[in-house]
Structure 1
Amino acid sequence: MSVSSVDVPASVTGEPAGTLLPPGTRLPMIVQGLGFLADRRRMIQWLSRRYGGATLLRLPIFGNLVLISDPVLAKQLCSTKTDIASNIQPNLGRTLGAGSMFALEGQTHRRRRKLLTPPLHGKRIKGYEAIVAEEFAAESATWPVGESFPTLDPMMRITLNVILRAVFGADGAHLDSLRRIMPALVETGSRRSTLPDLPKFAERLNLQRRLAGHRAEYDAVITSLITQGRADPHVHERDDILSLMLQSEYDDGSTMTDAEIADELLTLLAAGHETTATSLAWAVERLSRHPEILADLAAEAATDDNPLRIATIHEVQRSRPVIDMFGRHVVAEHLDLGDYRIPKGYNVVVAISLLHDDSEQFADPQRFDPQRFVGAKPGQAWLPFGGGTRRCIGAAFAHMEMDVVLRELLRHFTVHTTTAPAERWHSRGVAYAPRDGGKVVVTPR
């Protein structure tokens, strides 16, 4: 960014005694907000170059904010107790609902997380692999042969159908309605999450108004499905996620309400398919520009092994993180973070994309190199799913989906390479996708 600024002193007048904040720009909040909205990737890169691993921002919606790109500070933030720093405010709960795990805090969040973890981990997700392969086969049968096409929308359809089948365990008119409703709901919700609500005179242009319409359609379908599930005498024989939610009990014997289930299902449907599909589109974009890696992966896909494929997934998520930041909100009188003392009411945000571009953590970070993860677990600076107590609960499910889709793609298609420049980043609101949708040319094997 080519703007001039004056550094904000580390001690800011008007803050509590003992406050020690990192440096930052004195540009007006509205100017900072417009820069963040127009191109937050370039803005945080500029801030990092100018101020280092921690800088102060003042933004609409999020208010006073400390942006960190130092892996040591990021690790410290992730391990901070929730009675000192809780979930960032505002958060995705304003889009997904008060009953979503994104909106819950403290003990309530821990109880819900414990309740919902089993269906998304371990042996249970192994049972969903066949669903992923089936949905890939059905969608890929429609792909144009020998012609360039964007993969983002097809991947969206695959991952949405997978999560719908995994959540509800069946097909039918209700699920057809959700297939129609969810794409618009997710797109509107993603954009609304990064924008303030407009004043009353502009209410007709407010994304919240459009989102409420989509949500009303969703609630009508989900309420019917929950009612059917509660009345199903064979619900105990089912293994879909909805039936598990209906049967699950907290330690005290209480259960989730219908409204809470609706919000959590929306969280799974929205957060559980768009990010995975976008990562898959990025994977295709990256592999089509790296023929040697692509050839090695194709050879591996002919076997039952997957270490290179898993390493490739890690490298795609490092080099092209779909979600570029996560954060916490200081709820104690202050948060001590490195040399800084951050007062109550501030948000502290980790810039994932800057951590992933750290040359001290990842050698030659601009190079796409899955070998860096072969036989090695990602380090503390690799945070595509966030970290700490609020790390994405669906990370294992997402990796399973990506693994199966890439395996099936490489087994059944030849992915043609290209010398075209890398696709640019495109903001879809919360997520970053390849600007051209991850275009590719494939032919059947």
Structure 2
Amino acid sequence: MRRIAQSIGRVLCAGDTLTTSESSQSPSIHVNDPNNHQTPTASQPPESGPLCDICSNLDFHAILRDGVSQHNPVPYDLLTNVLGRAASPGTCAFCSLVGDLVRRLWLLDTPGCASVDLSGITLSLFALTCGHVLGPVPHSTEEERRVGHRIYVLPSERPAEILRAANKAGKALILEVQLMQEDAHRFGRDRVLHGRRMGDVVDIELVRTWLRVCEEQHGERCRAPWWAAPALREDLPKEVRVLDVQKMMLVPASASADSRYLALSYVWGSPEVCDHNSYWTTSANLEERMNKEGGVPLEKLPAAITDAILVTCALGERYLWIDALCIAQDSRDDKKVQINVMDQIFLRAIITIFATSSASSGVASSAAAPFPGLGPGTREATQRVRVVKGLRLCAPLPRAPEAISQTMWNTRGWTYQEMMLATRRLVFTPHQVFFQCSED
């Protein structure tokens, strides 16, 4: 347990904020917690990056301040010209953001799309409000402070080959550039609807805030949605167990502080890359794991499970449901009982942790893969921020559907069921963490 405590301390103390959340991309956000707002401080605008002649003549301040109608967008340039400037470092900060965004979302570096003819496609810009903050906004008195604008890049056409490939890969078709939250005060707006700085490691305090706001403000809408009522009326069978992460032993779920527990959704991977027999609960070790503190040997657990334990502890919770540990894997009777109530198990979890991975095979697609963002250097990509006329702008990192679309996790029927049943989700992707609930 000492190693767990040390790791939790590292997670809690490291980094700034980590991620955009699904709720921060929604049409509405409930922000009633004063601790969720940071008072902006005046600062000198950072030094701007280089701009091409076209971008030098664009009034980005006016675009973000006043908005631009999609029906009357600002002309930008040919897509091929923007991609060319983006490929030349130091040419244009804004074109670099847009070009990299188009290249990623249109899959221009993949065999199926690399040869698509893009000539003649023109780009234009518009800016719309990206959301509306519900409830009181600290330090705000005007209605306009409750909204924020984002810049959208509008292509004159989208080739059919790219549309098909992007849809298959779960790519968003929206080309969006965000103003970073540290510059929101320059437009008299709240930080919450703007781009959040991403650290190299997870900001667990932010995750705790998301969960607390949901539990305190959303109530039954997220704890017990209408479609879950029949399953929640039944008690869990006595055979359903959870892991006590403080004592590292299994206990009946009914004894877990009024059944307050988290659940884990992940993939085991093949035996060649992860030795399941070394950590599974079986009929032979079940009694010891139920009756002995430390009966579940931490040192034998794969990285995905130990990281789920870390997250559970860091969130201030004690109990965690993990299939490989909570079900005797060699017992048909035990499996039958628990599989028959799998809907209840995930519905009753206060939040389900989803351990996805960018890999489709190998160690990185198995239980041996650590959670991205729990340790330095474990994330695949870093956030790209560019300074354009004194404004810090960024292109959003992949959203959850895009990040998990090509993973091994996304190919399993069990994991699909778990995603559908979970009332709250904490999704670890290679780039960032997403919090999802029924109100996001």
TM-score (norm 2): 0.25
Richer in helix (by share): 1
TM-score (norm 1): 0.25
Structure of greater relative contact order (alpha carbons < 8 Å, 6+ residues apart):
1
